[in-house]
Every structure is written in structure tokens, then in C-alpha cells.
């Protein structure tokens, strides 16, 4: 009987691994609770993935990953994994409360968006507070919005949102940390009056009237101000999706990322990790894909060793 692999997640790293394992004739099932392609799928445009000199839409890239993995025989199923446990020579994962056994497991669950924690953020989630510009930007055509964050993703998404919004207030906790290329592009929108940057600024709370957002309160160097906006987009980083590993015995670092050795294997034999969920990952699509391929080769070696 062929040794099987279960992959938790279906982002770029998971799909790359599946392309390799299925080509090695390893039965491979991916379990995804959200969107196939992960955060890459909901990124407007990926500019730094090799092979696309003009950039590529995130959804198109994700669809191509998926099609290639499925062409080689990968099976993608939707379901939420709640636990992972080593049982003798097999590994049990619980998917939608049902136990499933596999000979090896790859955890490639990636990360999710961080929240600011300010009052009103959760109350207006999806109704004025958003974490995906490509998903929700079109709702704000000719409206004023705020974007929170100062890294690459915040600047990229703010620039994208100028397609819809009449004006954007960019709220940056300290200073802009985006790449030089993005900062130069941002300056064009600042000069055109489409984006106003507020440095050393902390969002305090969402303001609303009759159930709709009508502003945001900010603290700029101890000066409390109110900005009139109808929507708030938050891009302040990522949290690893490892909550389901509590009690699994898998070692995590202080940030909750999964520790692995050079073979991308965790402290538990047969359980591997790759991509943004792994400690030491660079949080880039290209490196996540490379890690997926490397993990697949290590998984093949592990499964071969279990046959004897």
C-alpha cells in the first residue's frame, strides 16, 4: 500500500509541495479551510515572482498553482483541521471533527492578518473595516478611507486603493518601512493629493453614526484628531496560523511559528512545515514555493525510510 501525505493548507507552499509529491506517486490530499492560494490569491498584483516581468494578479497565480497540482493528481478538500497527533507510525489529523490518518503531514497553513485591537474594529469587520484591498476596495469608489500600516503591503494596497477612493489617509505608527521602489511610487500619489501620510500616528477607535463608519480617531504625537473616512483598511503584518497545534507537542518559537530542522521536519518525525508558518521563513511567495519543493523531497525520503 502506498504511503500517503496530508497537507494542511493550500497556499503556494502547499501547492508546490503537492506538485512534487504527486509526481513522485505519493497520494496527496490538501485540506484548506479558506481560499485556495492563501494570501497570495487575494493580493492584487504580485510584482516579484520570477517569470512574470510585468507582474501577475494574485488570483491568476494561485489558480495556476492549483491547476498544476491537480493535473498531477493532488486532491484538494475544504475542511478545518483542529488537531495533529502522532500515533505509532501514522499521524492523525482531525478535519471537521473527523479523524484522518496519513503516513506524513506537511503543515503549510501560512499566516493571517494582524488586527490593531482598537475599539470598533471587530464590530465593523467586513462592514467598514477590511484586510483585503482587492476583495473590498471597489465598495469605496469616490469615498474617503484610511489605510493603517507602513510596510510593503500597506503601501502596495494603499496605491491600489487609489483606483477607487477619492482620498486616502495613510496612518503609520512610526515611519514608512516599505522598499525604496514603493516609497518612490507612493510619492507620486502624495504629490497628486490622493494620499496623505500621517507619521507617528496610532489609531485610537473607529467612529460611527447610525451603524456606519464616519471617521477614525487618531493620536499623532499626543495630539488627538478625528479624520472623516467611510472605510478602514488594516495592513500591519501577519500572525502564524498555528493555534490548532496546541497540545500537539510540535515546537513553536516565541512568535508561534513552527520550528524545523534543515530538512523542514519538526521535532516530531513525519511532520513537516513550510512557508510563512515556519520559523525563519522570509514571508515571500517565491521562497514559500521553494520550501514546499524542499519539504516534498524530504517527505519522499522519510516515507521511503518507513517502508523498511
Long-range contacts of 258-261 (CB under 8 A, 24+ apart): 258/107
Q: Among the residues of the chain, which ranges form H helices?
A: 12-23, 38-41, 58-71, 133-136, 152-161, 180-191, 285-305
CA distance 83 to 151: 33
Query: What nine digits make up the cell of 272?
Result: 513537516
132 is catalytic: yes
Catalytic residue among 136, 180, 191, 276, which? 136
Asked if 158 and 263 count as a contact pair (C-beta separation under 8 A), the reply is: no
Catalytic residue among 44, 132, 169, 276, which? 132
DSSP assignment, residue 140?
G
What are the φ/ψ torsions at residue 268 (nearest 5 degrees)?
Answer: -105, 115
135 is catalytic: yes
DSSP assignment, residue 99?
E
Catalytic residue among 135, 169, 191, 223, which? 135
75 is catalytic: no
Q: What positions carry a catalytic annotation?
A: 132, 135-136
Amino acid at each position: 500500500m502506498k504511503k500517503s501525505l496530508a497537507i494542511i493548507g493550500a497556499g503556494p507552499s502547499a501547492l508546490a509541495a503537492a506538485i512534487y509529491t504527486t509526481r513522485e506517486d505519493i497520494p496527496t490530499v490538501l485540506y484548506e479551510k479558506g481560499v485556495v492560494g492563501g494570501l497570495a490569491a487575494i493580493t492584487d498584483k504580485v510584482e516579484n515572482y520570477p517569470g512574470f516581468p510585468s507582474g501577475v494578479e494574485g488570483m491568476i497565480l494561485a489558480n495556476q498553482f492549483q491547476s498544476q497540482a491537480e493535473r498531477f493528481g493532488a486532491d484538494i478538500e475544504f475542511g478545518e483541521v483542529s488537531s495533529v497527533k502522532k500515533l505509532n507510525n501514522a499521524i492523525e489529523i482531525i478535519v471537521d471533527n473527523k479523524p484522518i490518518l496519513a503516513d506524513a503531514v506537511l503543515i503549510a497553513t501560512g499566516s493571517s492578518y494582524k488586527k490593531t485591537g482598537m475599539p470598533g474594529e471587530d464590530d465593523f469587520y467586513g462592514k467598514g473595516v477590511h484586510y483585503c484591498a482587492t476583495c473590498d476596495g471597489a465598495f469605496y469608489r469616490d469615498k474617503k478611507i484610511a489605510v493603517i500600516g507602513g510596510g510593503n503591503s500597506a503601501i502596495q494596497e494603499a496605491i491600489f486603493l487609489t483606483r477607487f477612493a477619492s482620498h486616502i489617509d495613510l496612518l503609520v505608527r512610526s515611519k514608512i518601512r516599505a522598499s525604496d521602489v514603493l516609497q518612490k511610487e507612493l510619492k507620486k500619489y502624495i504629490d497628486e493629493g490622493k494620499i496623505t501620510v500621517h507619521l507617528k500616528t496610532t489609531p485610537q477607535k473607529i467612529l460611527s453614526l447610525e451603524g456606519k463608519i464616519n471617521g477614525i480617531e487618531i493620536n499623532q504625537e499626543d495630539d488627538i484628531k478625528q479624520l472623516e473616512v467611510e472605510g478602514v483598511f488594516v495592513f500591519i503584518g501577519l500572525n502564524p496560523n498555528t493555534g490548532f497545534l496546541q497540545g500537539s507537542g510540535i515546537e513553536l518559537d516565541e512568535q508561534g511559528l513552527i520550528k524545523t530542522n534543515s530538512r523542514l521536519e519538526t521535532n516530531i518525525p513525519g511532520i513537516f512545515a513550510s512557508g510563512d508558518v515556519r520559523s525563519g521563513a522570509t514571508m515571500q511567495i517565491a521562497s514559500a514555493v521553494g520550501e514546499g519543493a524542499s519539504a516534498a523531497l524530504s517527505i519522499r525520503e522519510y516515507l521511503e525510510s518507513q517502508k523498511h
